[in-house]
């Protein structure tokens, strides 16, 4: 078997990649290991010269690294789309999120609202601003540390409402997913893959990306709360 291919990814894609690495080994004969952390931290490592082969991040972050020369531009490919969902502590009433009125009521009734450092957190803050609720909710917003699921603040009692990628919230103990945000307020992120410019095995790294963007990988992505980019 060839030397192990190393990858870096954000936490949102960790559940998908953890399952797919074994499929890649069996189907392609490639040993792959991904190290996952908060997207901000992964981008910092890449800029600091981390030696790795494959990178999976939110589209905007990956494109930025490609523009800076850290990722091979011709290797970029969209993989999966993830929706941001709301979640509450297990054992508490699960709110409805059918309309903007529901969303406003949920936000205004929460004492502490957890959100992430990644693209979902940035989008949520932007949404709160557009809803003209920034003043009312400013001191209730709690940003989870990089790499820490916002949902973990629910189970620890530090928040009573959390927003994050579905893949990061769906299997957390003590957490119940209320659902995606309604209508035009829905938030989604596209996660893409690319080959790092420092890779010493770019051809094998591209083979890993080919598998991640293929039909066999889509089923796993859907089971982990994402959908294939090809479903768009």
Contacts of 144 (CB under 8 A, 6+ apart): 114, 115, 116, 117, 150, 152, 153
- Any idea what the CATH number is for the domain that residue 155 is in? 3.40.190.10
The most distant pair of C-alpha atoms in the chain lies apart, rounded to whole Å, by 58
* Residues contacting residue 153 through CB under 8 Å, at least 6 positions apart: 112, 114, 142, 144, 159, 162
* First-residue to last-residue Cα distance in the chain: 36
Find the length of the chain: 232
Q: What is the pTM of this model?
A: 0.84
**Are 178 and 91 members of one domain?**
yes
One pLDDT digit (tens) per residue for the chain, 232 residues = 457 899 999 988 998 999 899 888 888 788 999 999 988 899 999 999 999 999 999 999 999 999 999 999 999 999 999 999 999 999 999 999 999 999 999 999 999 999 988 788 889 999 999 999 999 998 999 999 877 889 999 989 999 999 998 988 888 899 999 999 999 999 998 999 999 999 999 999 999 999 999 888 888 888 888 888 866 5
Residue 10 and residue 89 in one domain: no
The domain containing residue 126 runs over which residues? Answer: 82-185
Sequential DSSP letters for the chain? -PPPEEEEEEGGGHHHHHHHHHHHHHHH---EEEEEE-HHHHHHHHHTT---SEEEEEHHHHHHHHHTTSB-GGG-EEEEEEEEEEEEETTSPPPP-SSHHHHHHHHHH-S-EEE-SSHHHHHHHHHHHHTT-HHHHGGGEEEPPTTS-TTHHHHTTS-SEEEEEHHHHTT-TTEEEEEEPPGGG--EEEEEEEEBTT-S-HHHHHHHHHHHTSHHHHHHHHHTTEEEGGG-
Q: Mark whether 65 and 97 lie in a shared domain.
A: no
Q: C-alpha 218: how far from its chain's center?
A: 16
**Domain match, 98 and 121 both:** yes
Residue 90 sits in the same domain as residue 133: yes
Is the four-CA dihedral 139, 145, 150, 154 of positive or negative sign? Answer: negative
The CA R_g of the chain, rounded to the nearest whole Å, is: 18
Are residues 109 and 155 both part of a single domain? yes
């Amino acid at each position: 078997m060839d030397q192990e291919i190393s990858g870096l990814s954000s936490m949102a894609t960790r559940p998908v990649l953890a399952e797919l690495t074994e499929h890649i080994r069996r189907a392609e004969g490639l040993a792959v290991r991904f190290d996952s952390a908060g997207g901000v931290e992964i981008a910092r490592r890449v800029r600091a010269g981390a030696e790795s082969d494959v990178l999976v991040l939110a589209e905007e972050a990956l494109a930025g690294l490609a523009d800076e020369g850290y990722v091979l531009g011709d290797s970029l490919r969209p993989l999966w789309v993830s929706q941001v969902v709301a979640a509450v502590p297990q054992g508490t009433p699960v709110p409805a999120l059918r309309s903007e009125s529901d969303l406003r009521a949920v936000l205004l009734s929460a004492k502490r609202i957890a959100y992430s450092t990644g693209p979902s957190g940035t989008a949520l803050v932007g949404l709160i601003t557009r809803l003209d609720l920034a003043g009312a909710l400013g001191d209730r917003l709690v940003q989870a540390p990089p790499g820490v699921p916002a949902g973990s603040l629910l189970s620890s009692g530090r928040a009573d409402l959390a927003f994050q990628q579905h893949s990061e919230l769906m299997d957390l103990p003590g957490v119940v997913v209320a659902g995606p945000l309604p209508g035009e307020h829905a938030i989604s992120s596209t996660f893409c893959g690319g080959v790092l410019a420092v890779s010493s095995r770019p051809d094998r790294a591209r083979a890993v990306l080919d598998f991640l963007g293929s039909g066999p990988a889509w089923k796993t992505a859907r089971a982990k709360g994402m959908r294939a980019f090809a479903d768009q």
